[in-house]
């Protein structure tokens, strides 16, 4: 499920990698036309083939607080109003239109806050990504071959070749980088590599761009260095295990991407999170190490919530972060409530 947790920094890595390889394979991919998105939602597959498991999934999802909804109104005790919105780090190919309700609120805000600052400025994002790239390597002359099982490593090389990517240029990176690369939906990859920042006109970028075009100030909740620290704090053994599982079940990659997109449009992030809570006869990619969830979601939620407090206290802020940062007992909705704010779901239609 790495497609779910990918950060802006790793999107940017893809674009930077394309620049570094010049006219090589990544650059060639960047020049390709967008293929059609493929894949079938896992939830839809459960409904058709395993209705009892689908019902169990629904029950598990209902135990996740604040699991439904992408847009939330945040009100201070004094009545100042801000909004919190869950994004998806994919382009108009997957999310053709952002809700008019959302865009109206963006243009009415005094400040737009995204995960990282200057997200709509491709040059700044690419420059910051280059500065942080050292942390993406294993170092000490090590490559993924030193840590992966022979069958998984052989399958990784095969996948790289299928993607027209040179294994020798990529196997020195940390496993999460390669996991993120492989798990990108085929329809999104050319656009990401063609974009200087790697963000490929994502929902986040479109929101920030609209704000800047209207003269509204923008800022971020995290630095690039902090996102890098979140990535590097994942134990290497867990990162390798995730990568091995992905390459050995690569036939599920497009289905997981389709699942995320379908549930995003349905505003059901609780179902996405619940996939790892139930046993299924397929889709082993749903299970993730606790260390990964803690580093990429839980710890970052705490930081995002803490830094959101001054903005929502002032009022007039529109805060846009990845949708899976919102639900759960340790999600942003719950954390902002614990900070003394009233947080209510706002219908998108």
Query: Which range of residues forms the domain containing residue 80?
Result: 2-345
pLDDT score at 337: 98
The residue ranges of the chain whose pLDDT is under 50 are 1-5, 11-12, 15-16, 18-23, 30, 196-198
Total count of domains within the chain: 1
Q: Encode pLDDT of 87-98 as tens digits.
A: 988 777 778 899
Tokens describing residue 242: 């995730």
Question: pLDDT at position 173, please?
Answer: 86
CB contact set of 119 (below 8 Å; sequence gap of 6+):
8, 125, 197, 199, 204, 205, 208, 218, 220
Indicate whether this model's pTM tops 0.85.
yes
Average pLDDT, the chain: 85
CA 300 to chain centre: 13
Tell which residue, 279, 281, 259, has the closest CA to residue 271.
Answer: 259
Residue 198: its pLDDT value, please? Answer: 47
Instruction: Let me know the angle formed at the C-alpha of 270 by 307 and 320, rounded to the nearest 5 degrees.
Output: 30
Residue 65 pLDDT: 97
């Amino acid at each position: 499920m790495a497609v779910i947790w990918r950060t802006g920094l790793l999107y940017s890595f893809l674009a930077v990698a394309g620049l570094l390889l010049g006219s090589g394979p990544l650059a060639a991919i960047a020049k390709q036309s967008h293929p059609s998105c493929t894949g079938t939602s896992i939830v839809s597959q459960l409904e058709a083939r395993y209705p009892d498991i689908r019902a169990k999934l629904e029950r598990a999802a209902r135990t996740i607080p604040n699991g439904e909804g992408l847009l939330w109104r945040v009100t201070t005790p004094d009545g100042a109003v801000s909004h919190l919105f869950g994004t998806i780090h994919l382009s108009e190919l997957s999310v053709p239109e952002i809700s008019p309700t959302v865009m109206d609120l963006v243009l009415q805000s005094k400040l737009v806050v995204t995960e990282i600052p200057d997200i709509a400025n491709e040059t700044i994002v690419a420059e910051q990504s280059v500065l942080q790239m050292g942390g993406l390597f294993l170092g000490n002359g090590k490559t993924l071959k030193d840590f992966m099982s022979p069958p998984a490593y052989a399958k990784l090389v095969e996948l790289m070749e299928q993607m027209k990517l040179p294994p020798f240029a990529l196997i020195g990176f940390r496993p999460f980088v390669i996991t993120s690369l492989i798990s990108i939906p085929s329809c999104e990859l050319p656009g990401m590599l063609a974009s200087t920042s790697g963000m490929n006109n994502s929902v986040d970028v479109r929101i920030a761009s609209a704000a800047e075009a209207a003269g509204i100030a923008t800022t971020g909740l995290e630095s690039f260095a902090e996102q890098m620290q979140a990535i590097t704090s994942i134990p290497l053994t867990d990162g390798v295990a995730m990568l091995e599982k992905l390459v050995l079940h690569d036939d599920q990659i497009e289905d997981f991407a389709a699942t995320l997109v379908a549930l995003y449009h349905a505003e059901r992030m609780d179902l996405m999170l619940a996939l790892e809570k139930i046993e299924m006869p397929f889709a082993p990619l749903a299970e993730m190490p606790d260390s990964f969830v803690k580093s990429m979601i839980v710890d970052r939620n705490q930081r995002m919530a803490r830094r959101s407090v001054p903005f929502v206290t002032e009022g007039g802020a529109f805060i846009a972060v990845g949708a899976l940062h919102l639900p759960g007992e340790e999600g942003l909705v719950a954390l902002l409530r614990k900070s003394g704010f009233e947080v209510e779901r706002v219908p998108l239609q």
